[in-house]
Amino acid sequence: MSPQAYDGFCASLPAAHRVVQWGDAVVWKVAGKVFAIGRVQEGGEMAASFKCSPMAFDILAVQPGLRPAPYLASRGMKWIQWLSPDSMPDDALQDYLRESHRLVAAGLTRRARAELGL
């Protein structure tokens, strides 16, 4: 997934907003809560991290081109970092980004979800 495709897809999710933080990381949030972190690696390839279910984490963490997301997974959070388009096609990555958005939004208060139309 190109950086432009990553941004375009994340922007299409309800109530998502983009910030650049931690140097050059492109971070997507819903109600101030992170659901995706992207960074352009050397050579122009994209790396993207996303939240996932415990079961998905266990499966994805051992797949080539994927790994537990640095910093987040080491703190017990179920986040995976996608490093290579060879690991999964863009549409599968989009499904995981969409699910990450859903998981984060589900953790918001009922009032916050209602205010955001979620």
Per-residue pLDDT of the chain (118 residues; tens, 9 = 90+): 888 899 999 999 999 999 999 888 999 999 999 999 999 888 777 899 999 999 999 999 999 999 999 887 777 789 999 988 788 889 999 999 999 999 999 998 899 888 888 8
| pTM for this prediction | 0.90
CA gap 57, 81 in Å, rounded: 10
Burial of residue 32, with CB atoms counted within 10 A of its CB: 0-12 exposed, 13-18 middle, 19 or more buried = exposed
CA Rg value for the chain: 14
What are 86's two structure tokens?
């060879």
CB atoms within 10 A of CB 57: 17
